[in-house]
Amino acid sequence: MDSNQKIPRMSSDMDATAAPGTPHPEDSRPQGRPEAPPGWRTSELADALYAVLNAMPDLRAAVAHRLGLNLSEVDAMQHLMTEPVGPVELSRRLHMTSASATVLVDRLEEAGHVVREPDPQDGRRRIVRPTAQGQVAVFEQIRPMVSDLVDAEDGLSARERRAVLAYLERVLGVLQAHTDTW
């Protein structure tokens, strides 16, 4: 967008074939949330969940910044905190080539966040696991958020907690069903 916000851009600024005075397409975009197409099903819960899901990329970026990592490295740490895996499996989970995953693991290893070690089930294979230092770094960054999430439950009755838990379990199933084809 132009640095001078008071002067509307015209299509003729970008496209010599546009009629002079035609508003630039970026200036005519709707402000705020776009309207849903006809027949679009939604609900207050779905909208709230969508807002939560939309907040996740910013949260990942903030955690990455605080850890001094890039987003791929944060994603790798997230997978490795769940279970140690081999570099090829990590590349599959991160949807990147094994060469790219190797470079990523090299960076994490150099930073002291992970180690490569022999697989206890197959000594010919190597696995990547987070170091104690790497685990502490991640937990220290997410601890305040987890604490705040637990505090957010305070106003819920036991029945409400069960209802929220049941809903979130169903949502997880839906999300997994829609990512299984990836």
Indicate if the pLDDT at residue 2 is higher than 60.
no
Which of 12-16, 149-153, 174-178 has the largest mean confidence?
149-153
pLDDT digits (tens, 9 = 90+) for 108-153: 999 999 999 998 888 889 999 999 999 999 999 999 999 999 999 9
- The residue segments making up the domain with residue 115 are 68-152
Residue 128 covered by a domain: yes
DSSP annotation string for the chain: --S-TTS--BHHHH-TTSPTTPBPGGGGSPSSSPPPPTT----HHHHHHHHHHHHHHHHHHHHHHHHT--HHHHHHHHHHHH--B-HHHHHHHTTS-HHHHHHHHHHHHHTTSEEEEE-SS-TTSEEEEE-HHHHHHHHHHHHHHHHHHHHHTTT--HHHHHHHHHHHHHHHHHHHHHHTT-
Residue 111 covered by a domain: yes
Residue 175 covered by a domain: no
Residue 170 covered by a domain: no
16 vs 93, which has greater pLDDT?
Answer: 93
For residue 16, what pLDDT is reported? 47
Q: Domain of 78: which CATH number?
A: 1.10.10.10
Residue 20 covered by a domain: no
- Number of structural domains the chain divides into: 1
